[in-house]
């Protein structure tokens, strides 16, 4: 039975090869004993890893296996793991960008909160200083007023004694 290689569907195979493949005995149905691959022109024939596509899409390389019956060429998808890694890197980059954005936003909020609290502290200190000055002012007025009242009361008492004739108390 003659079959065409799946490699011809993916962009080409290096060289023209007809090989016999005799697998170990198997109890599963009929196994082909020969594979015929058509000739496809390629720039240079290489035994391992010939890239078939360089468009950045799905790329296949030909893996050539040497057997006692000849060489077998198998197309291998080499971009599947690469695509998964690219997708993972993209997800990671997106997550990192979101994390950096959240961190910047938190820093902005923290700076805003710090500024607001510093302003409140300054205002509280200004209020405190204002009320301390006001307290001291009223304390001075109260102390001076009490002194004047005491002094005035003492002077009035001396005047009354003088009027009553106790002059020696006044002179002393």
Q: Are residues 71 and 110 in the same domain?
A: no
Domain annotation covers residue 28: yes
34 — pLDDT class (breaks 50, 70, 90): very low
Q: Are 9 and 39 in contact (CB under 8 A)?
A: no
Measured in Å, how far apart are the chain's first and last C-alpha atoms?
Answer: 150
Q: Are 62 and 55 in contact (CB under 8 A)?
A: no
Q: Are residues 71 and 88 in the same domain?
A: no
pLDDT single digits (tens) 54-86: 455 667 788 888 888 889 998 887 777 788 888
Would you say residue 118 has pLDDT above 60?
Answer: yes
H or E element, residue 63? strand 60-67
Q: Are residues 32 and 74 in the same domain?
A: yes
Q: Are 74 and 17 in contact (CB under 8 A)?
A: no
For the residues 25-43, what does the mean pLDDT come to?
43
Q: Are residues 85 and 127 in the same domain?
A: yes
Q: What pLDDT sits at residue 154?
A: 64
Domain count, the chain: 2
Of residues 115 and 61, more confidence is placed in 115
Q: What pLDDT sits at residue 110?
A: 98
Q: Are residues 34 and 94 in the same domain?
A: no
Domain annotation covers residue 113: yes
- CB under 8 Å to 1, separation ≥6 — which residues? 30, 32, 33, 34
Of residues 91 and 150, more confidence is placed in 91
Q: Are residues 67 and 110 in the same domain?
A: no
Structural domain span for residue 109: 79-138
Domain annotation covers residue 12: yes
Q: Are residues 60 and 85 in the same domain?
A: no
Would you say residue 40 has pLDDT above 50?
Answer: no
For the residues 147-151, what does the mean pLDDT come to?
64
Q: What pLDDT sits at residue 104?
A: 97
Q: Report the distance separating Cα 76 and Cα 52, nearest Å.
A: 10
Mark which of 46, 78, 110 sits at the end of a domain.
78
- The token pair at 58 is 């799905």
For the residues 31-56, what does the mean pLDDT come to?
46
pLDDT single digits (tens) 9-21: 444 444 444 444 4
- Give CB contacts under 8 A, 24+ apart, made by 151-158: none
Beta bridge partners of 18: 36
Q: What pLDDT sits at residue 114?
A: 98
Q: Are residues 44 and 96 in the same domain?
A: no
- The token pair at 82 is 């690469």
């Amino acid at each position: 039975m003659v079959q065409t290689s799946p490699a011809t569907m993916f962009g080409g195979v290096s060289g023209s090869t007809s090989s016999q493949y005799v697998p170990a005995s198997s109890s599963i149905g009929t196994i082909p004993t020969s594979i015929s691959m058509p000739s496809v022109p390629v720039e240079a024939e290489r035994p391992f890893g010939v890239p078939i596509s360089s468009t950045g899409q799905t790329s296949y390389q030909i893996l050539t296996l040497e057997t006692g019956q000849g060489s077998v060429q198998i197309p291998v998808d080499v971009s599947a793991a690469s695509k998964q890694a690219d997708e993972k890197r993209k997800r990671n980059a997106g997550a990192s960008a979101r994390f950096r954005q959240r961190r910047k936003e938190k820093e902005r909020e923290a700076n805003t909160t710090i500024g607001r609290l510093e302003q409140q502290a300054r205002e509280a200190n200004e209020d405190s200083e204002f009320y301390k000055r006001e307290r001291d002012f009223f304390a001075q007025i109260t102390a001076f007023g009490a002194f004047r009242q005491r002094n005035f009361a003492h002077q009035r008492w001396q005047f009354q004694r003088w009027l009553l004739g106790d002059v020696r108390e006044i002179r002393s």
